[in-house]
Structure 1
Amino acid sequence: MVHAARWVVSATLVLALAPLAWAQEWAGWRGPGRDGIAPAAQTLETWPEAFSRAWEVPVGEGYSSPVASGGRVFVHSRSGDREIVTALDLASGAQLWQQDYPAGFVQNTIAPAELRGPFATPTVDGGRLFTLDAGGVLSAWDAASGALEWRNDYSASVSVTDLFCGTAASPLVAGATLFVQIGSDTAGGRVLALDPATGREIWAWVGVGPGYASPIVVDVEGQRQVVTLTESSLVGLNVATGELLWSVPFIDEWHENTVTPVWTGTHLVISGPRQGTHAFTIRRQGNDWQAVPAWSNVGVTMYMTSPVLAGGTLYGHSSTRSGQFVALDAGTGDVRWASEGREGEHASVLMAGDDLLLLTSDAELFVAAPDAEAFTVVRHYDVANGATWAMPVPLPDGLLVRDATSLARLVPANQPPG
C-alpha cells in the first residue's frame, strides 16, 4: 500500500506539472513564431492584482532573453571574462546543468556603459540548445545534459574598432537548417546556413556588416526567404541556396538597425531610431524579385523594440517623447494612438493570448487591451528590482522575467478572501 500511495502521489505531481512543462514552448527569440505572439494556452487567462516569486536565481549579466522548452529554462549570461550557459527546472528553478567557457570579447569604447553581452537569445531545437555570444562564438549544447556537441568560432570576423558593438542576431532554426548572422562593419558580414547536427556550412551569403536585428523566414508567393537587416540594408535570401533575391537600402549613421522585421502577410515592416518605420511589398517580376515601398511613417522611431501584429494593427514602442507606446495601422502606417510618453528607453512588446504585454526597461509591466482605438491599460506591475532589457517569457501560470543579474518565475499572488 505504501508503494501504491507513493506511485499515486508521483503520478499526481507529474500530471500537475505536465501542463506547465508541455504547454510552454518558447524556444527562441520572440517565441514559437518569432513574431512575439504567445497562444492563449501558453499564458494567463486572467491577470492578477499582484505577482509573487515562485523562485528567483542569480544568472549573471547580459541582455539575452531566457527561453523555455520541455519543462526547462535556458539562459545565456556572462560573469567576468566567461560566458555561462545554464539550464534550470521550470517548476522549481533548480539548476539542472551549467557550462562556462572563456570569452575575450571587449566592448567598443564608444559604448562604455554597455555590457559585454551576450545579446543574442538562444534557440532550442531537436534536443539541442544553440547559443551565439557577442564575440561570434556559436555553440551547440545537448539540451538534456549540457554536453558541448560542436562549436564554430567566428570571432575573427567580429571587430569593435569602428561602430560595431557586438554580435546580437539570435540563431534561427527553420526546417532542418540553422541560420546565423555574423561579422562586423570593418570585416564585413555573412548570413550562414548550417547543419544543426554538425555545424557544417551549407551556404554563405557575403555582404556588408550585420545590424543587430535577428533574421526571420517568410514565404512569399511560394518562395521561402531568409529576411534580415544588415548595417545599411534589408535583404531577402533564397532559403535553400543563399542567393540574394532582393535588397533595399536602410541606412543608419550609427549602423543601429536593431528591430527584427515583421511580416504582415502582405508587407515587411522595419523601423529604426532615425529612419522611422517603413513597410515594403515583396513581389516577383518575371524571374526577379523587388522590394517596393508601401508606406512610411518617419515620426515613429522604434529603436530596439520589435513590434507585434494583432488584428491589422502594429503595436510597438517609439523612442519619441522619452519613450511612448504606439499603435499603427499595418496597412497604411497611420498612427492609431500614442501614449503620453516617458515610458522608458526600451520596451519588450508581446501578444499573450488576447492581451498586449509591454515590459519597459524600468521593470514596469503593462497589460493592455489590443485596442486600435485607444491605449487601455488593464493591469500595471513592477516586476523586478533591476533593469529589464530581456524579453519576458509568458507561462500558463505567470511569467519568466530576467533583470540585470537574476531570473525569476512570477506567479499570481494569493488574493485576499472574498
Structure 2
Amino acid sequence: MTLRLSDTGEVVCSVTLDTFYPGYLHIEWKCGGEKSTEVLSSQELYEESPDQTSFSVCSQVRISEDSLRCPESAVHISWEHEYTNTRGQQTRSIRDQDFPWRPVVDDLQAPPCMYHAVPAILQCHISGYYPDAVTLKWFRKNKRTLELCEETDDASIPKIKSTKNADNTFSCTAQLMITPAVKSHQGAEYICQVEHPSLEKAVKKSAGGIKMLAKPQLEPIGKTLLDGMLVQFSLHLHSFYPKDMKVKWHRGEQEHRKGVKQGTKHTETFTEQEDSLFYMISECCILGYGFTDPEYKLYVTWEHEAMEGPETRTLCVRDLPWSPCVDEIFVLRLEDQLRSCMMCCITGYFPDKLSVSWYKMENGVTSPVQDSEDIATKIEPHKRKNMTFGCTAVLHFTPDAKKDQGSEFICRVEHPSLEHPIERSSGPLCILRQGEEE
C-alpha cells in the first residue's frame, strides 16, 4: 500500500494487484478502528496483460485528514477473487514505524544563560507531520519535581498555529515565554513534549539546566570621614548572581610619577538576599590629604560574569560631599573713623585647603583688598566638628565716610571641591558719622 498527500489535504492510498484471471476482484476499503464497518468509495483501474492471460488492477481511495486524528486510525483493504476463491488483505496504521509523516522535532532552542527578571523565549520547531494534530506541552524539572507549565505571571505559552508546507505536510514552532528568577530557575530544566497520533511515545526535547545570571546594580558610592584624616569609600552593589565579584581600588598620582596607579587595600562583605541574589559592600580607606590636589583621583573597578565588561567609577575631590558652606557676611556697626570689622563664617569643608580673598567694589570697579594700616584680614580656625573643618574670615578696617560710603566688600571662597568660587557681599556700606544714630 502506498500513501501520498494530495493538494486538497487528503491521503491518497493505492494498492496494485496483478496476475489474476478472469479480470474482476471484489475490493473493500475501510478506515478507522478495528471495528469500523463503513466501506469507503474507491476507484479501480483494470488492465489486461499483453498475452491476454491475466489482469492487474490499481485500487485507489481518498482518506480525509479528520479520519487520521486518533492513534487507532488505520486504513484497511481486503480483496476477493470469486473465481479462484482467493482472498487477501493489507492494513496501514498511523502508528506504523514507516508512516511517512511522523513529526520531526528539532532540538530545543534556549539562550545559553538567562538573566534575572529579564524575559526569555524557549522554542522548538516541529515539521513534516500529518495530520495537523500535534499536542505540545511544556514541563519544568527541578531537583525533585516535574511540573506542567501553565499560564502564570512569569510564564506565557502562545497558542500553536500550524503552517502548511509545499509537500502538504505541516510545521509549527512551540514557544514558552518566561521571566526567570534566580531562586526558582537556577539549574531548572525545561522540557518540550510533542505528541501526535503517529507517535507511540511522545518526543521530548530539553536544553539542559538553566544557567542564571543577574547583573549587579550600583548604588551611590558612600563617603565617610574617619579619625586620622581618613576618608572611607563604600561601593554598594546589589541584586547580582552568582556571588563571584572582582573589585579593584586604585589611586592615580599626578606629580613625579604621573599616570601611575597604585593599588589600594580594601575589604568586601557579601550578603545573600531572600531572593538568592547577592549584596556586596567593598570599602576602601585612604588619607584625605591627597584630595588637596584637584587632579588627585581614586578609581574603583568591578567585574562580574553578568556584565558585558568591567565598569569603573572615578572619584575626585569634587565628588566629595564636604564643600564649604559660606554664610552671609556679618557687618558690625560702622562709624566714621572708628575701627570695626565684618566676618564671614565658613563651615563643613574637607580637606583643609581653603582660600579666602577679599575684594572692594566702589563706583562699579572691583579691586582686591590689600592689608594696610586701615585694613587687615585674617582667618580664625574653628574646632573640628563632624570631622570637617571650619573657619571665620575676618576683615578689620577703619571706615571713612567720605570714600567708603556705599561701597561693598566681597568675600570670595575657593576650595578644591568647588568648580567655581563662592562669593558673599556685604552690600552697600552704611557708615554713620560720629554721634549719628542709625
TM-score relative to the length of structure 1: 0.20
Larger radius of gyration: 2
| Bigger strand fraction | 2
TM-score relative to the length of structure 2: 0.19
